Structure 1
């Protein structure tokens, strides 16, 4: 029979330890021997942590002898082990829960780091790039093949064969790249034709050069000018135009690109508007071909310099660094360079799912639109009286408005989690639909730049898919949303095929990405029974086959996409088996943890988005919230009202000149809010060129050139580059 003192000691042994963690935490049992101090003093010891009672009262170290380690151990070690066990149990529970409920944030963002080669640094692709819907298609493929992983859907030997095919260095008749810089300029007549092509195709979307001024630069270079900017710009324009002509000229274009880079470092030294124009030229070239320059990095440098020079605000772009008022031509060029660089920045952020370098909300952009007349009528004194309106300039502004619509959609649906919209029936979707519908209705029927009505309708359809596909904000869209996405991409598939056959579209990597988007969207939409009921299996297979044909034709310009064709055929064969089943098959893109009914733990990886914290009650009601929320107050609308409906545009070949143009004023450019419904002038004749197709060599990814890398150091050495 136990004595009272023994029972008291047992109680102290079992429950007398002082709590070292939250009282709600489960107690981890432990057995402790008496500490060394109590043993030597022959006093009663208790299992208190991190020290026993006697040691606690005397503030003495509490250690015990560990026979296994044959040394003294502090009782703090026991506390450490308790915390370690609890942490491991939480991690184990997290892993077990992931088997049943994958972390939604992981699903959207965790698998979005890709590398072309095994030894490449992986590149981040965010939600708006479409990477999430690609993962959803893979989930469907696994579900209907009974596979536990995508490696079972695509066997390892098949994936390796595709990879080897991509990496094989076949010798082709027309290489895509050149190892030697062009030593001489082309004949003058050919250069003039290439400059006209550049003005027609590139300047319609990115008018960052003044055409008469650049024509004089060409004249100076052919007369022996050694000016670095002039030599760089002329060679870059030649390279861009050759790339846009045909793939058989790709190697020649690359030789002029290498020749231009010899002048690059000297050309960008002034750190002025010409430096930004150099960045824009490199970006225009990089969109067309696998290049040695990281375009995201270059555009980031351009936007940073844009902000440092004060070209992001109307009040500062009209003054020089020394405070003098700029003339009308300089102000107009500042506006044009601003909108061109911001357009490129937003395009990359949209396509790659990355943050835009220009972080100002569209509600805060107050830079006016540039003059909507041809460059020959814009002089330092102002716009010449009677100058006709230019359709090409109007098209450029219309193109910029599209980027702003994309920006609004991306910030609302793909970035910070918001309390609304919770589904695609929300009023925001109706308002956004009206905006992009009005934008589409205002597009021209046909223009010589290739940006015709069909092209703009295709961009409209892309925005529809961007809105209604699975997103972090609305992870499971309705069947109606899936139907809209299906109809939109069906139109785009056949539009892409027609554009490729007519050779009136540049095969940029963004264009190639849009083709992949059509396939992913169709495969995802098949998870809805309503879509399968409305569109038979044979119809869907026909659409997908046309899309794969478009991808195969894109391999001339982008050989890397050839490796995806066989993989997509395997995915299509797997997902199309969904027609053998009935009902919906819910798959979600996922959203931050606080938006779901299940208490998911936080993602184990860093997220590019804002931390997943519960939204502030007033965060969605602020008119100028940090994420670009729509304001219901007219006073808080965008200063240039880019979202307002645009009047229809008539397009006769010739027209009478305007009589109200003012000759001088630095602010004669129309503001973005003004009407652009005036009739345009005639345009340059479309250039005709060979349509010969060819096979090309496989290219490899590149890192930024040393000249580009040195720019970063130069920025650090220019402390005076601050907004005025």
Structure 2
């Protein structure tokens, strides 16, 4: 009797989701030039660039596959004189939040052609530190909710790392602001206040909603229950000043804030939020266009046209 050999099952193909599907948390089929979801809605389909290890990093990966775990050193220990940020609630113990020094793999000196120190993750993302920081920050959010005030922003070095690592995904579909321009607003907000608008509602709304989008992009499905309250709190910070931003004298920052809120709202249950925010941004843009013709924008002309293109695309998505 002849034995029948079964053919080994071909491995399933792995797809990289496009930016639009990531924002909506939809399953992406990785189609080219457009995935099925983008093709169905006649929307722009953008895939993030694939990161490849090359150069010395590639040599290290290939030459150190059998690297002993004993060569992995603990992260740098900080001296007592270095400043550390602390979150402390009444009646609780202070929880230190490490400064953003990354952990490293130390390569044996017998391999001089390899990289001596390769960053893995910042210390605040290591499991023990992450759980402590998260619990401490959630307690601050609960205290703010009980007092009915704005929710505080996260420590600056954590937010800065989060923005830098996810900004390309945030604006991948709609480039409504450059990283340089946003970081100037980000640093200005932290310098002014981390728990209130400090006189600039549009800046406060923009910073909070971009941080919320960054968290949403970097949160895996298994972590949504833990990180979800943080995302919601930063979005609510923006919602609490939405009316002031909508009815203020229009400027480029207020339009950018409304556009950012509109982009975030596509991932929330409220079906009317996106249309309302996109429409208000377009109205402010028309008012701003008259200022542009009057020469009031000056050197920000290029930013105006960048925002104009994004606003036009978002307005086309609004149902008639």
TM-score between both structures, scaled by the size of structure 2: 0.46
- The structure that has the greater radius of gyration is 1
TM-score between both structures, scaled by the size of structure 1: 0.21
RCO higher in 1 or 2 (8 Å CA, sep ≥ 6)? 1
